[in-house]
Amino acid sequence: MNNPLLQPFDTAPFSKLLNEHYLPAIQNLIQATKAEIDAITSNPEVPTFQNTVDALERTGLQLDRATSIFFNLNSAETNDELQQIAQKVSPLLSEFGNDILLNEILFKRVRQVYEARKTLKLSPEQQMLLEKQYNGFARNGANLREEDKKTLRKIDADLSKLKLTFGENVLAETNAFQMHISNEADLSGLPEGAKEAAALEASEKGKDGWLITLDYPSYIPFMMYADNRDLRKKLALAFGSKGFHNDKLDNQQNVLQIVNLRHQRAKLLGYASHAHFVLEERMAETPQKVQSFLQELLEKAKPAAQKEFDELAAFAKERDGIEKLQKWDGTYYAEKLKQQRFDLDDEKLKPYFELKNVINGVFTVAEKLYGLQFNEVQDIEKYHPDVKTYRVTDTEDILVAIFYADFHPRAGKRGGAWMTSYKPQQIKNGVNERPHVSIVCNFTKPTASKPSLLTFNEVTTLFHEFGHALHGMLANTTYKGLSGTNVYWDFVELPSQILENWCYEKETLELFAMHYETGEVIPMELIEKIKASATFHEGMQTLRQLSFGMLDMSWHGSDPSHIKNVKAFEKASFSGTQLYPDTPENCMSTSFSHIFQGGYSAGYYSYKWAEVLDADAFAYFKEEGIFNEKIADKFKRYVLSQGGTQDPMELYVKFRGKKPNPEALLKRAGLL
């Protein structure tokens, strides 16, 4: 009982946690949750909403909290030992999840309540919980024969391990590559800040000179500014070939096994494909709808993308005699063309985007829209010194949420940016338990002479993840399973993507974009240039996103058993969206963590889907004023606080007064 995960705790007890605590705690809490479920199934009374559905929803809270701490650390602060524990924990949890979903007595009780639902006078939220529970059983094998249930368990256990291995391989490949540069001439074109960061990276690794890595804050500036084309090529090939080296970190077989197991699972459950299974509980509903949605956008975007690409190729040829534009040229020449066309350079902008100020800026936006106050505190435990902790309160100083923020890359942290949670919001025994929410990013680190200065892209990333965080923080539902971001996956990106829009507005930028040395507010002319350049290469950007969505649907929309060669299959999928020549050494699928490790399988299209929603919703704010309290209150009341308690389209229409119009997106993107 000395295990901190088995004691009562409010905020995560990071300082007390040792690696040896996780496995025994999770094993112990699985048994405790089984006892809670046994109490429901052995109840002699007739099944009711309270004694079955509500009771089931309240089980396993301590287990959920322990596993969320464990898996969050395995993403943000992992090590070899933690990864080995994850390989043991994942199948255990998968098996336990199946123990619940395949428990016949439990399902029978839930089904009895479900069949009597019309006579029960349930609230809309209770109806949604009942439906979600019933579908959870029915969609995950409760009606299968015993033999098929065994097969399902085996598939789920294998999948949980394969997804972990996929992610571990990508992280190991990212950490393994270093481009060591000893001749300063090879850094020609690189801004001073990026050179200083590369020198810091080298000195931290005990090397002279400069180190370029595959972490975004190192990789992107090099691809954007370095004049040395051969080194850009070397870096791009390393980045694009993660998990594709036919060695022990190779992910090709993992990809094939994952898609085949997902397909077998879907067929076992009576679905035509994994995409059919997934999309049944999405706004999009069917693979056909997703395909036609992507196709419609492709028809609008492709002519614009081709025109932009041809202009870029002509520009590179005229400027430097580049005969054939390659992938490692794209970002470099796009930045040069953007500088020429708009007289705008990320390096001119970065001094106005000191991380500390941008954080204060996003807090001020949340205060103006939703009345939130963020107070940094030191009495909440952290898992790493880089992490910042805040108490979030409302206008009456009542606690709304605990907020963790972790901004810089390090060896134990996977790439990218994400929002997650350590404690869900729910109303329990009449008490509204407030959530503990976290965002994790990989932004440019401070150096000896400069604080952390963000690119504009990093600014929008921070606003994006903070939009997800607001969805978690402002949750106000009775049940944890319907709270915050527990919504249809193609609705979950609306709160994050809409917040990015504020980054382009003068009213917002003047709140936080101050020069880190002089304190000067960002000049109006730079704001105008940011707005003017917002749709630069939008055709190519849209085509890129569509290509990822189409690749995802190719992997998951039909029987993959005939696929023998990952690269050849991917190449065929990309053929309709391809602009650059193919690079034989590279393969995207082997490091496409969103769909093979994260939760975006058959769901990558949702970024574009949510863009339709966010463009339409932000047009409403623009009509009334971007800090209009009435519109902000409607967005909070009908979107941010409601979680998954109602159908997302119904919530959207309550907020907006009508269904979304895709024209708002096409107009914003300059594609109309």
Residue 624 is among the residues annotated as catalytic for this protein:
no
Please report, for residues 144, 247, 484, the alpha-carbon distance to residue 259 in angstroms, rounded to integers and kept in the order given.
22, 21, 29
Instruction: At 401, give phi and psi (nearest 5°).
Output: -165, 160
Look at the block and give the residue holding tokens 């993507």: 497
Instruction: At 517, give phi and psi (nearest 5°).
Output: -100, -45
What is the Cα 418 distance to its own chain's centre?
Answer: 5
Please report, for residues 300, 355, 527, 671, the alpha-carbon distance to residue 540 in angstroms, rounded to integers and kept in the order given.
11, 29, 23, 11
Q: Which residues pair with 388 in a beta bridge?
A: 405
CA-to-CA distance for 436 and 149, rounded, in angstroms? 36
For residue 612, which of 529, 526, 528, 671 has the smallest C-alpha distance? 671
- Secondary structure element (H or E) that encloses residue 181, with its range: strand 179-181
Catalytic residue, from 201, 465, 538, 570: name it. Answer: 465
Amino acid at 99: D
Residues present in the chain in total: 672
Count of beta carbons in the 10 Å neighbourhood of residue 523: 12
Within 359-407, strands assigned E span: 373-376, 388-393, 399-406
- Please, what sign has the CA dihedral across residues 251, 256, 261, 262? positive
DSSP per residue over 435-479, as a string? PEEEEE--PPPP-SS---B--HHHHHHHHHHHHHHHHHHT---S-
Positions marked catalytic: 465
